[in-house]
A and B are shown apart, each in its own frame.
Chain A
Amino acid sequence: MKDSFFRSMTWLHTWVGLLVCWLLYLIFFAGTLSFFRDEITLWNQPAIHNVQAQTQRIEAQKQQIITGFDYLANHGANSPSWRITLPEPRIPYLVYGYAKPKEPGQRRSQFKNTQLNPNTMQELEPFVDTKGGNFFYRLHFDLHYMDAITARWVICFASFFMLIAIISGVVIHKRIFKDMFSFRRNKGSRTWLDAHNLSSVLALPFHLMITYTGMITLIFMLFPYPAQTAYDNGMRGFFNDVTPRNTMTDKAKGESSMVPIQSILDQVYTKWPHADITRVQVNQPNMAASTITVLVSAGKTLRDQAPRLIFSGATGQMVAKTDDELTNSKALYESLNSMHTGRLATCLLRWLYVLGGIAGCVMIGSGCIMWAKRIRERTKNNAKPSFGLKLVEGLNLATIMGLPLATCAFFIANRLLNPTTAERADKEILAFFLTWLAVAVIALLKRDTLQWRVMAAINTVACLSVPVINALTTNGNIVSYLMHKQWALFTFDALFLLFSILFFIQTEKLRTAKNTSKIISPSQSNNLKRQKS
């Protein structure tokens, strides 16, 4: 413990932040990209680039569902489940899918999906196998190669450390309001401190909200004890209680014909006349225990679980539904969850979330660079840097410059891999991690200004390559996207060009910067002294 409260808080802020900063950077980086997960998936699937959004989307839903039922009855009569996914403003295509029978050892059924253009009802070109934006979404809390539960515990601890770092940061930042708009250029570590303070303060409510609500999304894993105490079969009992389930006809045996889907839709539209249906799921079609679940969009309400009605497929009777009015505790949990995901946010709010996410990346990045810079400045010229300093510098370079490069590799792989390649989606992800690993190896071997400059130059080229390779391998390019008002695709390419310019500016700045991290050996130091004298 330090001798004063302020020094204790400073110590806490430094170490709590430094221990997990690279993991937090990854979480913020991938989480920020996830706000555009549908747009990333759209870019990754050239087959849907030219699908126009429907002008009468909600009005067309009823007919799309009826057509879907006919299609699935003809193609998947013996399937254990059917799924109709309707177009949404950010996902412009229609999917009719049915589950293939499970193979031995398989946990979940594989779906045979047919994607359609909702304007023409024509089948779209075959989709390429890609995870798209879902990769970044899952990465920010599942860490991909790790066991999901272990990864979530790691993420929870990192978030907890982040929360402590934010609160202790506010305590130690004495001039939080005085220096609110100040940024002093070309002042060494003072400039880094200003960048750290500014990026923290300008999005402080966002940082607090996203960190706290992030922990809330995993609260039942972190703190399962109330549910375990209240329910005989623990968490399973709790989840069964809060999720609407068919308990009326689930024990029915034998086969049964399905009721016409029109009668189900009539009931849905009677309850919600302006329903924006997002999905229809059928479990055990043509069986007496079959259910038809209709999910609708929650609109702009702060609600994470989509409102749904569940009907018996055999009788058409409604067997379960979500609550119209949520209890206080459920409303609190749902609103905190939906605040974190921003799933129902408008385009403007989504961009504001991204701004907050970028500020978070700058805050974490500047914090870890500042620590290394200060220690480096304190290290005497002829002294060897410690292992800790070398490790921190290496991890800084690997994370801050490696992640953007790995992201470019992911998108370039998406365009260059053959569509028929086996396990193509996994290979895109492999390209991401191999690139990151390569940068990490280089960074741990050498991490001075030259390495930062080389990485910035490589990132410049990589960012530029993404829209160029896209133009060479698909029918569209940034100009055609602009001409045809395909804003999501245009913005995607334009952002890569913007980042290419930013990395180029960084390369040029580093060319003229002093190499502060260059290690001077004792003999070189003596030579310099001799030359001076």
Chain B
Amino acid sequence: MIDLLGFSLCLFGFNGFALAKFNHFKDVFKKRPTESQSKSLLFIAWISILLSLVLCVATQSGYGALIFCGFMSLSVLIIMVFYNFLVGYVKWFSVLNSVLVVLSGLFLALN
């Protein structure tokens, strides 16, 4: 479950980076992002990515940084597939990603 939280946070972060870009935001929401929207998305993305890194290193020690690099690769691949081939599903994907972050976080917090 800790791996799932680390990965979903990383995916959430890269999703934020993608949405913060003008083209991708327009493809998904059919409108331009405002300056503050872009900045907020970038801020959330960075926090999420850093949380994922901290979680990986704290729980997996030696191999944590490597797992984090792997999570980044997988996240970029998934984001690329959604934003280039499945744009219509990005909203659903983002919701699912957020649910995963919350559920895995709650599961760990309660256990």
Contact = CB atoms under 8 A, between A and B. Distances in A.
Contact of A206 (B62, B63, B73, B80): B73
A185 B85 CA distance: 9
A337 to B, nearest CB: 12
A355 B67 contact: no
Contacts of A352: 66-67, 69-71, 73-74
A348 B73 CA distance: 13
Nearest to B83: A181
Given A181-B18, A202-B77, A355-B77, A346 B69 contact: no
A144 to B, nearest CB: 29
A355 B84 contact: no
Given A181-B80, A300-B62, A353 B70 contact: yes
A501 interface: no
A158 interface: no
B66 A339 contact: yes
Q: Which of B14, B24, B63 has the most CB atoms of chain A within a 10 A radius of its CB?
A: B63
Contacts of A351: 70
B69 A206 contact: yes
B63 A355 contact: no
Interface residues of B, number: 25
Interface string B64-105: 001101111110110110011000000000000000000000
A149 interface: no
Contacts of B63: 300, 302, 344-346, 349
A203 B80 contact: no
Contacts, number: 79
B62 A356 contact: no
Contacts of B66: 209, 339, 342, 345, 349, 352-353
A359 interface: yes
Contact of B84 (A185, A202, A206): A185
A112 B58 CA distance: 45
Nearest to A348: B3
A301 B14 CA distance: 29
B17 interface: yes
A201 B14 CA distance: 13
B21 A178 contact: yes
A348 B79 CA distance: 20
- Range, interface on chain A: 20 to 34
A450 to B, nearest CB: 28
Nearest to B7: A348
Contacts of A355: 70, 73-74, 77
A288 to B, nearest CB: 41
A346 B2 CA distance: 14
B51 to A, nearest CB: 18
Interface in B1-44: 3, 14, 17-18, 21, 23-24
B76 A180 contact: yes
A443 interface: no
B45 to A, nearest CB: 12
Contacts of B70: 206, 348-349, 351-353, 355-356
A136 to B, nearest CB: 21
Interface in A155-208: 178, 180-183, 185, 198, 201-203, 205-206
B72 A205 contact: yes
A57 to B, nearest CB: 21
Given A300-B61, A346-B63, A349-B67, A183 B73 contact: no
A335 interface: yes
15 contacts: A180-B18, A181-B83, A182-B80, A201-B76, A202-B77, A206-B70, A209-B66, A300-B60, A302-B63, A344-B63, A348-B3, A352-B67, A352-B70, A352-B71, A353-B66
Given A182-B23, A348-B67, A352-B73, 18 more contacts: A178-B21, A180-B17, A181-B17, A198-B76, A201-B76, A202-B72, A202-B76, A202-B80, A203-B73, A205-B72, A206-B69, A206-B73, A348-B3, A348-B70, A352-B66, A352-B67, A355-B70, A356-B73
Interface of B: 3, 14, 17-18, 21, 23-24, 60-63, 66-67, 69-74, 76-77, 79-80, 83-84
